[in-house]
Amino acid sequence: MLSKMFSPAKAGLFTDQELVHLYLEGSEKAFEILLHRHKRKVWSHIYLLVRDRELTEDLFQDVFIKVVHTLRSGKYNEEGKFLPWVMRIAHNLVIDHFRKCKKMPLQRGNDEHDVFATLAQPGKNVEQGLVNGQIDEDVRKLIEHLPEEQREVVIMRTYLGMSFKEIAELTEVSINTALGRMRYALINMRKMIKQHDLAMERA
């Protein structure tokens, strides 16, 4: 019965949501169709961010492992929005990867939103940090303490070298909102540096 239902001619007639329900009722074929339907778009989205085929494959597998786990646990409630939901999972896993991967170099910018220009503020501790090999690690630590929305924009801008237009499209906000989050992130990083300096002076 299911084999006839999912014949090549009929498989395309099912909506994503119908396939999700069929999968939850025990049809592995339904999930195969979902995977085949969206694989290229999800894979391409990841690759455009990481620019590495092997890493893309690893993250792609992680995405659908998480999709399966969420579906089976009954936590999926994105009615009619399966692909946007999967894309958000992919996006978040990419961000998590770059946040945790200490080997990834940070990209030095040349505009007003450059993280490294932000760090180059007066103060002996900051100046010492800029001239030693710990600068990337210092930046990572500061980024970790930012609010989630600000941290996300900083990672996409500083690790992935994305434009604010790309960031805005990916996070579904206006360019002005993306710029504002970056601006507030830089302000917060400056504050953390000053607090760090004060703590050093009291020590």
**Which pLDDT does position 135 carry in this prediction?**
60
For residue 151, the number of C-alpha atoms closer than 13 Å in the C-beta half-sphere is 16
Q: Are 153 and 179 in contact (CB under 8 A)?
A: no
List of long-range contacts for 106-115, beta carbons under 8 Å, 24+ apart? 106/136, 106/139, 106/140, 106/158, 106/159, 107/158, 107/159, 107/161, 109/157, 109/158, 113/157, 113/179, 113/182, 113/183, 113/186, 115/139, 115/154, 115/157, 115/158, 115/186, 115/189
- CB under 8 Å to 28, separation ≥6 — which residues? none
**Which pLDDT does position 129 carry in this prediction?**
45
Vertex 193: Cα angle to 190 and 194 (nearest 5)? 90
Q: May I ask the CATH architecture of the domain 115-202?
A: Orthogonal Bundle (1.10)
Q: Which pLDDT tens digits describe the chain residue by residue (203 residues)?
A: 444 565 555 667 889 999 999 999 999 999 999 999 999 889 988 887 787 889 999 999 999 999 999 999 988 886 668 998 999 899 889 888 887 775 555 555 555 666 655 555 444 454 444 444 456 677 777 888 889 899 888 888 887 778 888 888 878 899 999 999 999 998 998 888 877 654 434 33
Q: Are 98 and 159 in contact (CB under 8 A)?
A: yes
Break the chain into its structural domains and give their ranges: 2-100, 115-202
Which residue carries 């492992």 as its tokens? 65
Q: Are 156 and 181 in contact (CB under 8 A)?
A: no
- CB under 8 Å to 9, separation ≥6 — which residues? none
Q: Do domains 2-100 and 115-202 have the same CATH topology?
A: no
The CATH number fitting domain 2-100, selected from 3.30.365.10, 3.40.1670.10, 1.10.1740.10, 3.40.190.290: 1.10.1740.10
**Which pLDDT does position 128 carry in this prediction?**
46
**Which pLDDT does position 202 carry in this prediction?**
39
Q: Are 22 and 30 in contact (CB under 8 A)?
A: yes
**Which pLDDT does position 59 carry in this prediction?**
94
**Which pLDDT does position 140 carry in this prediction?**
76
Structure tokens at 45: 């989205």
**Which pLDDT does position 67 carry in this prediction?**
95
